[in-house]
Amino acid sequence: MDGKFAKLSPFQLDPDKIPDTLSPADFESAAESEKASMVEKHKSVSYWRDAWRRFKANTVSMVALGIFILCLFFAFIGPSLIPYGYGAQYRSSQKLGPFEYSKGEELIRSITDDCDAFYATALQPGSKTAVSKGNYFIRYKGATYAFTLAKAVEKSVIMLAADAAEPLLLVKESDIKDGSVTQSTPIELSETAAEDAKELKLVRNVVPHVFGTDSAGRDIMARTMYGTRVSITIGLVAALIVLIIGSIYGAISGLAGGAVDFIMMRIVELIYSIPEVLIVLLLQVVLKDPLQAWFDSGTTAFARAMSDLGSGIVSIFITFALLYWVTMARIVRGQVLQLKKQEYVTAATALGASGGRIIRRHLLPNCVGQLVITTCLQIPSAIFLESFLSFLGLGVSAPMASLGSLCSDALETISLYPYRLVFPGVILTVVVLTLNLIGDGLRDALDPRLKK
Amino acid sequence: MAGYIIKRIAVAFLTLLLIMCITFLLMNAVPGSPFLTEKSTPEMIARANAKYGLDKPLYIQLWNYIKNYLRGDLGTSLKMQEGTNVSDIIFHQGKFTLSLKLGLYALLLAVIIGIPLGCIAAYNRGSWIDGFLRVLTTIGVAVPTFVLATLLLVTFAVKLQWLPTLSSSLTSFKSYVMPVISLSFYYTCYVAKLTRTSMLDAINQDYIRTARAKGVKTHALILKHALRNSLIPVITYLGPVMAGIITGSFVVESTFSIPGLGKYFVQSVLNRDYPVIMATTVVLSALVIIMNLVVDIAYKIVDPRITLTEKED
């Protein structure tokens, strides 16, 4: 192959400049590699890839997405990283501030970690004693409980706190023969330490209560994590309910047209003009008892799952299913009215497609952008509503928590412990803020025509 | 125009009727009786039921409600202030005026602060002022009312002691400050965002360029030419604002211990005082519906291009 042609495309060839000396080799068909350099490939870009590209270019939305993912980690993975449960009450550690932990917890932690005996003076009044490693039994109010050392100490702290007058026996395994105690280490006041005891240096490696604890001794961080999980889940499920009902209703109304559309839209207008919060409050009270009765009698897996959620949350879902789908229905109807005039819908109708098939195959997939945007912006509004109801004492009930109920709990002691409101309040704000920003970003990415 | 208004008023009445029916059904779906206490015997409950007509069939009870409401009689309270006329409780004990004043001040604040902020942001588009206002308003619409209300309460009333803790009677200017600010903050931010967007829309229109070419001063351009057109979305939003302010008033009234209608409604629901639930629901709904009506008519006045009869979406 002659080097003269290599750099020129056929369109650039000037007939006057064709070299005089042509060899037959120049007329051979082009090799595959040469053909490849001629073709400009346009890789087809899918709708979602294109939208993702636009979304990625939006710094604010990307940062919001990152923070929201952090919130998801906090809510869904966080609880397994900290040693405290959302409902557990740590008796010795009530009303702690942020990053604090109680003496009792410190003591228990120290014993489990690095010593074979503990010698407590500050633990409880009258509990100067020493124990060695091994299995332990607690004899309390006539019953005997078996524990490891750590648990035994923990339990005895709790039991002593509950009833200081009741005698409590902490017994080593070796001291029990045939079920009766042969030798005991009573937890009682003694001026001298037991013989095998050594004084304990408290080791500060207790996981602190990062957000402090509430008046019942529950870890606020664990509760906030759990509450965030509940709030986000409520938001997602409620938005999904709105999506399903609203899109089906709107699509049917738009596609049917005529009298059906007229009646369906009048219904939407009526529901739209009802101040929904008044009805929501009534519904919350009304639904509470019937739902509870259904939970108690229900044997299906569905009823049990709902019962785990509690009547407050389920009635929030019912409220959304009854009242909040109208905006979605209006948006979808507007889209469908535009789309149904398109040729492909006519073609589908001509080929005998049913209304349901046209909605499923042609109309809804074509307004997916609007559906995603509206659903995404519905989530924060559901979270707001739930927190509002919980704040008024109608949403989730203890020991369950949501961000709203945590804020509500914090109110009683707000002047003494303002941080109890700040943590859930800030997280609620951050979740709603990031979801709003993600929604805005999605709007720009999925529907560039709307971009201002 | 007159025909439209008549039609809208008719629809408003229909909506109120529907709300009454829904409220009535919901109230009666709650198990138990408003007279059920630890001490009450079945006879006492039956006697009380007979006294207040609760033993009659439901449709007759509902019909009685509608009949009395048309005559302006809101019934008497069963429980919370037994025997007192509900309209006296709502209108003469100052609950309604208290809530209305709070709501209107909040609405006013949202409009007179929100719209100028939006204009300033749009006018200084891209500068640090715009950036600051965008951050502020974006965060503002994400802060729940109760968090803001409580933080204000702790900061200014408990810690700094500049403002009174209890705003119960709303007598002085100082007692209004925190409730009104916490009630209107979300809406101020939302109105500012909305104004900014629609203002930018308006500024990019041809007629603005023409006016500028003809030598209209910038501030006159913004105030006279652009603002008028950009107000339309803001006005449409005011109807939902009113509904939202009523919602917010439940929270604000319980945070600041204001004995208004919102707090009373929540209490009546929890106490199952049927006539009070019905009356508060109807009064609050009427407020929202009237507000929506006013907004729709104002809409027509601001923008004559809108044909009211064909208002689809």
Provide ipTM, 2 decimals: 0.77
Q: Are B74 and B68 in contact (CB under 8 A)?
A: yes
**Alpha carbon distance B184, B289 (integer Å):** 20
Examine the pLDDT at B113 and tell me if it is beyond 50: yes
Distances (CA, A) of B207 to A303, B216, B231: 62, 12, 16
Query: Residues 228-287, chain A: which have Cβ within 8 Å of B?
Result: 269-270, 273-275, 277-279, 281-283, 285-286
CA angle A105, A111, A117 (to 5 degrees): 140
Examine the pLDDT at A372 and tell me if it is beyond 80: yes
3-state secondary structure of A123: coil
Shortest Cα–Cα distance, B26 to chain A (Å) = 6
Q: Are A231 and A428 in contact (CB under 8 A)?
A: yes
**Tokens 């080593």, residue?**
A172
Contact yes or no for B154 and A277 at CB 8 A? no
Residue A219: DSSP 8-state:
B
Kindly give, in sequence order, each residue whose CB lies less than 8 Å from that of residue A120, ignoring residues fewer than 6 positions away: A107, A127, A128, A129, A200
Examine the pLDDT at A112 and tell me if it is beyond 80: no
CA angle A374, B141, B255 (to 5 degrees): 120
**pLDDT band per the 50, 70, 90 thresholds, residue A272:** confident
Cis-peptide, bond into residue A399, ω within 30° of zero: yes
Q: Are A214 and A419 in contact (CB under 8 A)?
A: no
Question: How many Cβ atoms are within 10 Å of A125's Cβ, its own excluded?
Answer: 9
CA neighbor of B194 nearest in space, from B126, B304, B119, B247: B119
Question: Scanning every residue of chain B, which has its alpha carbon at the shortest distance from the alpha carbon of A286?
Answer: B30
Shortest Cα–Cα distance, B8 to chain A (Å) = 12
**Alpha carbon distance A309, A286 (integer Å):** 17
Kindly give, in sequence order, each residue whose CB lies less than 8 Å from that of residue B161, ignoring residues fewer than 6 positions away: none
Question: How many Cβ atoms are within 10 Å of A379's Cβ, its own excluded?
Answer: 25
Query: Residues 117-136, chain B: which have Cβ within 8 Å of A?
Result: none
Examine the pLDDT at B19 and tell me if it is beyond 80: yes
Please report the pLDDT score of residue A169 as a whole number.
Answer: 55
Query: Over pLDDT 70: what percentage of chain A?
Result: 64
Please report the pLDDT score of residue A194 as a whole number.
Answer: 46
3-state secondary structure of A324: coil
**Is A418 touching B (CB cutoff 8 A)?**
yes
**Alpha carbon distance A14, B143 (integer Å):** 70
CA neighbor of A224 nearest in space, from A70, A64, A428: A428
With contacts defined as CB-CB under 8 Å, which chain A residues touch B17?
none
Sign of the alpha-carbon torsion through A124, A129, A134, A136: negative
With contacts defined as CB-CB under 8 Å, which chain A residues touch B137?
none
**pLDDT band per the 50, 70, 90 thresholds, residue A137:** low
**Alpha carbon distance A194, A121 (integer Å):** 12
Please report the pLDDT score of residue A203 as a whole number.
Answer: 42
Examine the pLDDT at A414 and tell me if it is beyond 60: yes
Residue B159: DSSP 8-state:
I
**Is B289 touching A (CB cutoff 8 A)?**
yes
Contact yes or no for A452 and B254 at CB 8 A? no
**Tokens 């004084």, residue?**
A199
Strands (E), A106-158: 117-119, 130-132, 135-140, 143-148
Weakest-pLDDT range from A73-87, A136-150, B31-45, B187-201: A136-150
Shortest Cα–Cα distance, B87 to chain A (Å) = 19
User: What is the widest separation between alpha-carbon atoms in chain B?
Assistant: 85
Kindly give, in sequence order, each residue whose CB lies less than 8 Å from that of residue B181, ignoring residues fewer than 6 positions away: B109, B152
With contacts defined as CB-CB under 8 Å, which chain A residues touch B14?
270
**pLDDT winner (highest mean) among A177-191, B38-52, B92-106:** B92-106
Shortest Cα–Cα distance, A307 to chain B (Å) = 19
The amino acid at residue B125 is R
Examine the pLDDT at A111 and tell me if it is beyond 70: no
Examine the pLDDT at B11 and tell me if it is beyond 70: yes
Residue A180: DSSP 8-state:
E
With contacts defined as CB-CB under 8 Å, which chain B residues touch A338?
none
Contact yes or no for B144 and A452 at CB 8 A? no
3-state secondary structure of A111: helix
What pLDDT digit, counting tens, does each position of A141-195 carry? 555 555 555 556 655 555 555 555 555 555 555 555 555 555 544 443 334 444 4
CA angle B46, B50, B56 (to 5 degrees): 105
The amino acid at residue B72 is G
Shortest Cα–Cα distance, B154 to chain A (Å) = 6
Q: What's the residue count for chain B?
A: 313
Question: How many Cβ atoms are within 10 Å of A143's Cβ, its own excluded?
Answer: 7
CA neighbor of B19 nearest in space, from A278, A315, A269, A267: A278
